[in-house]
Amino acid sequence: MLSRTRTRTRTSAVAVAAAAAAALALTAGLAVTGAHASGSQSSGPDWTAAWAASPQRASTGFKPNWSEDGFSGQTVRQVVRVTEGGDRARIRLSNAYGTSPLHIAGATIARTKKGAAVEEGSVRRLTFGGKRSVAIPAHGQLSSDRAGLGLQAFDSVTVTLHLARTTGPATFHAQSFATSYRADGEHVGDTGAGAFDESSESWYFLSGVDVSGGDRPRRNNGIALFGDSTTDGFASSTDLNRRWSDALAERLAAAGTPRPVLNAGIGGNLVLNDSAWYGERGTARFGRDALSLPGVGTVVVLEGLNDIGFSESDTPTYKPAPKVSAGELIAGHRKLIRAAHEKGVKVVGATLLPLGGSDHYGERAAGVSDAFNAWVRTSGEYDSYVDFDKALADPADGERIAPAYDSGDHLHPNDAGYRAMARAVDLETL
């Protein structure tokens, strides 16, 4: 269960600072910024993040993908599901790890029909500062102008980008558990799927979809889930939106308290150390990937198993792996807590899931996990906490994930396990 340990309120000074940062990011409808600028994600107080993905540098460490080769004279079409509705939409694009400008020759947003096909009559041409094409500087990111597209929570949205020039290695999100599509030539306005004859399970350059307007008042009620592969949705069913972020958004809506839920997970991510394959360390990317998302008021942090488990495993993509103590991991989490509170954001800690039987398991890792989980439960340093360790544990062996929730690797939940994670959250304390 998620237990309340204390409540923090935003101060007027934080609100003023946030508004000033947002105002600075607004320039003729076009926000182009450096990769880590605190105001980069929000260019107006009425925007709310409805979907998000954390950027990574190009790599082929997971399933085969297009990131290292990039794109040239091609169109990429990507399907995402929003967890908030509105009558206007915009996209956020990231060139955070690009070494040269990224040229977007054209872009559209539409409601998804099936696969790479979109609903006729829903295609909206996107502009950037009033222009249909734009160049994003190396290490930069931008938001499009607003487009008049009505969306409801849980609509599937298709974003299509024409990349006429050679991009070089692509900033991307490695594990999408959703299918993206590619076509040769320019096809941003196509409603049919015929030209899109290649597919991938990654997202490219697309880091967010925001909404504004609609019937519900805009307030900072967004929830960002920050973490590693478990938050990312590893082993969840492709194209079915079965991550724990999806399950939590659905549960909130069913309870009559709908709120946008944003996924800020990266598979393999660590709290304390950078990785070429698994993203920048959590303490470095927390501001960009979670705190700066438009409309976010709460962040749930679930991260640390890779910090303590990679040294037990034979993971070739992260060697040598340092042996991390409970004290070092706790110190990293304290940095996240401080960063959230400085932004006036509520931060919820999560206990690490059982790891017995997995390639991350060892006596040392188990001991560090137990000590860290005890700190989350008892220290009161997080504003509240959710006990995933207890919620998913096998009643017959508390060091293991219950068989009904185990994807098979004894480390990641299956679809039922992700739903169990969402059920473990006390919604009132969010």
pLDDT of 319 reads 78
pLDDT of 62 reads 67
Instruction: Determine how β-strand 296-302 pairs with β-strand 346-350.
Output: parallel
Q: From its phi and psi, is residue 19 left (phi > 0), alpha (psi between -120 and 50) or beta?
A: alpha
Nearest in space to 225 (alpha carbons), one of 428, 369, 51: 51
Cβ(300)–Cβ(222) under 8 Å?
no
Average pLDDT of the chain is 90
Average pLDDT over residues 241-256: 98
Query: Who's near 376: CB < 8 A, 6+ residues apart?
Result: 349, 350, 351, 382, 385
Cβ(268)–Cβ(194) under 8 Å?
no
For 328-368, what is each residue's pLDDT tens digit? 999 999 999 999 999 999 999 999 999 999 999 999 999 99
Query: Who's near 19: CB < 8 A, 6+ residues apart?
Result: 45
- Look at domain 2-7+218-429 and name its CATH class: alpha beta
Q: How far apart are CA 413 and CA 430, in angstroms?
A: 23
pLDDT of 183 reads 98
pLDDT of 408 reads 98
DSSP structural state of residue 151: B
Element (H, E) at 282: helix 282-286
For 4-44, what is each residue's pLDDT tens digit? 333 333 333 333 333 333 333 333 334 444 333 333 343 44
- Distances in Å between the alpha carbon of 9 and those of 172, 219, 341? 35, 14, 9
Residue 143 neighbours by CB distance under 10 Å: 27
For 205-230, what is each residue's pLDDT tens digit? 999 999 999 876 667 899 999 999 99
Residue 34 pairs in a beta bridge with 140
Residue 309 φ then ψ, to 5°: -100, -25
Instruction: Determine how β-strand 88-94 pairs with β-strand 206-212.
Output: antiparallel
Q: Could you tell me what percent of the chain has a pLDDT over 90?
A: 83
Cβ(293)–Cβ(40) under 8 Å?
no
Q: How far apart are CA 149 and CA 80, in angstroms?
A: 15
**For the residues of 188-243, what is the DSSP string, one character each?**
TT--SSTT--EEESSEESEEEEEEE-SSSPP-S-EEEEEESHHHHTTTSPTTS--S
